[in-house]
Structure formats: structure tokens, C-alpha cells
Amino acid sequence: MRQLLFTGFNAFGQHEFVNSPRDECAASAGFREISAHDGGNNNTKNQCTISFDWRYTAYALCRKLWLRGLLETEPGECVEVEAPGEIKALAAGDSHCLVLLCTGELYKIQPKLEATLQAIRLENPPRPSTATKRTIFGAVKAPAPPSIEHIACGTNINVAVSSENAVFSIPSCLHQFPDRQWRVQQLECGHEHALLLNGNGDVYTWGNGLRGQLGQAALCVEETPQLIESLAGIKITGIAAGGWHSAAISAFGDLYTWGLNCSGQLGMRVMKPNGLQKEPTVYPLPQLHDLPDCCCCSSRESGAEDTDVCEPLKVFAGSRHTLLLRRCGRLWASGWCIHGQLGKQLCEQNFLDAFQALHGVDADLDVVNVLCGPWATLLMVTQKKSVSTDDPIS
């Protein structure tokens, strides 16, 4: 059964705890189970989709959509809305939540009590004139509206990518990547920048790069997607966008981070000779990490051939924290933790400035996926199977 374990900022009752629904704890420090609205369904088709904003959380299951949190006056306010079709993805932002249907149609909804879904009309991408479609009577056929596959949003940015690789800064079309050469694998947004990963393993960034978010040598604003040259040639398999930082993992199991390191979110510890930390520090170019051995490596009896067993597998980021899932199933983390973003035992510290193993998750649980909110972390876990062929540790 899939469970959702939450830690972090919950001052507005965005999340309903399973064991104590009337919990007053504003900063939930330590992982605790929250209600998933889907009865813990193991069938991925029937699992709810979740997206965090700072003051509310959006949940979707089939055609139903819920917004929960501080919507107008009190914490724990909740609205339920039915979408015209099955919901594929959500992207919650401060002023609205983007709602993508399985049909490729895009809607938005404001986080307030009288909320309704509003269709978003996207500008059609420019097409070469030869491609103009005509009806059998010769009249120009109106081009079909773009079918959206990926969405993401941040404080100052809303993006979508269509099935034909058109990139939108909603609602205008920013850029048209060559159609059919590759598909978009992942799209992520920080507060004011966007990252796109394609099937070739290339990473493109655009938006505000004044804090080094874009992975480019020059600190500037880029209107259109730019390839990160310094990662070109390295096949990237996963990306993450924090508030003002970014992270990527390569097929070789290498972790790269770049951007702002004001709260240790890059996991780059920088000490000056006099012991003063140099901060806030901006790393405009991707930094390769040499991670310490995972604790499960050293305890293995025959560790010789399996150095890959703990390599980074996926990376996730909140406003100022970064989580890393290693192949062995352990979570590592760095960054801001004062609101309980990284669990309980770190609460007294303001932030971690280097990656370290995250404790507080039961050893008999498998972390299937992670979702970072601005100041929160959500783990999607299942009970470990006792013996299993696809369990990487056995």
C-alpha cells in the first residue's frame, strides 16, 4: 500500500494527518503519514496527483480536484472542483494552480473559496507556411490548439511544453524545438527559472539567472531555452529546480548542483581561512559532487564489486533544500531545515551545508518517489517486500 509521509511547513492545515486530523502542529518536524485522498491505492493509475504551493496544496484524483490550506481567512479551508476530464498533472503557484488534463488541455484555478476552473488559451506556435493545412475545399484549416504534455510553475514563471515540443511561457509561445527529434522527459520550475530535460539527456534552462540558476557562466536573464553547454555530452537522467538553485543526475550516477547556496542547498561546504562561511554564494556552473560513501556501503560484507549500489538515482528540490535518492534506497539531503523540511532531528539547526543521510524513515519502507514543496518534503513509500528480485539491495 502506498503511504505518504510528510515533513515541513504545515501552518495552514494544507495536509491532513492520518492519526491526528486536528493536529495543531504548524511545522511538522519529522515524517508523519498524511491522508492521500486515494485510499493508499497501489495501482498507479488511481493514485492522487499532488502539487505544493506555500499556503495551499492541490490534490487530484481522476476528475476531482481539491485545494487545501489558507485560501481566504482560515487554515484548513478546502474546495473541491470537478474537471471536465481526467487530470494528468498539477502545478501549484501563489496566484493560481495549473491543471493539465489527460487530453492535453490546460486549465487554471485560483486558490480561493469560490474557485472555478478556467480554460487557458495558448498562442499557437509559428508554423512554416508550407505546413498550412487546408480542408478539402481549400480553406485554411484552423490549427489545432497545442496539446500540452508537461507543466510547471514558480513565483514569477509559468511554463508548458506541447507534444510537438513547443515551449510556452503561458500563454505565449516562447520557443519551438525541432519536432520529433526527441521528446521532453522532464520540466521543472524554480521561483523564476525553468529547466527542461530531453530524451537525449540534454538540459535546457531559461528565465532569471542572476543567482546562477541557469548553469551558464554569465549571470543574466535568458528569454528562451539555452542548452547548458557544460553538461553537453553528459547524458542527464533527472533534473530538479529549487527556488534559486538547480540539480541534475547523470547516467553515470553523478550529481551536479548549481545556483544560489545561501542555505546550503547546493551541498557545497565553503569555509574561509578564518572560519567564516562565505555566503551567500552563487555557483553559476554545474558543480560535480564527490559524495561520501553511503552508510549501507561500509556495512556490506562483500562490497568489492558494488560501488554503484549507492549511486545517486534521483534528485528533488524545494525552495532552499535538496534531496537525493540513492540506488540503495537511502535518502540524503542538504539545505534549509528550520521548518522541518528535512525531518525532525535537524530542527535545531538552521541548515545543512553538505549532503548527509536523512534519518527518521522506517527501515522497512521503500521510498518510491519524493515531492518537495517550497518548505516541505513528501515521501511516497511502500512496505518493503521481504524477498524480491527487483530490490536493489538483495
Q: What residue ranges bind other proteins (CB under 8 A)? A: 9, 11-12, 24, 26-27, 54-55, 70-75, 155-156, 191-192, 208, 210, 218-220, 243-244, 272-274, 276, 278-279, 281, 319, 338-339, 374-375
Residue 355's nearest CA partner among 279, 276, 281, 287 is 287
Residue 9 Cβ vs other proteins, minimum distance, rounded to whole Å? 7
Residue 54 Cβ vs other proteins, minimum distance, rounded to whole Å? 7
- Judged by CB, which is closer to other proteins: 147, or 287? 287
- Judged by CB, which is closer to other proteins: 24, or 114? 24
Chain-centroid distance, C-alpha 152: 9
Residue 148 Cβ vs other proteins, minimum distance, rounded to whole Å? 25
- Judged by CB, which is closer to other proteins: 75, or 253? 75
- Judged by CB, which is closer to other proteins: 13, or 312? 13
- Judged by CB, which is closer to other proteins: 219, or 268? 219
Write the CA distances from 8 to 13, 75, 312, 334, 365, integer angstroms.
12, 16, 23, 14, 20
Residue 177 Cβ vs other proteins, minimum distance, rounded to whole Å? 27
Task: Collect all residues with Cβ–Cβ distance below 8 Å to 201 and sequence separation of at least 6.
Answer: 234, 235, 236, 237, 250, 251
388 CB burial (10 A radius; 0-12, 13-18, 19+): exposed
* Residue 126 in grid coordinates: 509559428
- Judged by CB, which is closer to other proteins: 112, or 359? 112
Residue 190 Cβ vs other proteins, minimum distance, rounded to whole Å? 9
DSSP 187-214: EEE-SSEEEEEETTS-EEEEEE-TTSTT
* DSSP, res 44: G
Residue 86 Cβ vs other proteins, minimum distance, rounded to whole Å? 30
Residue 100 Cβ vs other proteins, minimum distance, rounded to whole Å? 24
Side-chain-side CA neighbours of residue 13 (13 Å): 16
From the CB of residue 95, how many other CB atoms can be counted at a distance below 10 Å? 11
Positive or negative torsion for Cα 14, 39, 369, 183:
negative
- Judged by CB, which is closer to other proteins: 74, or 305? 74
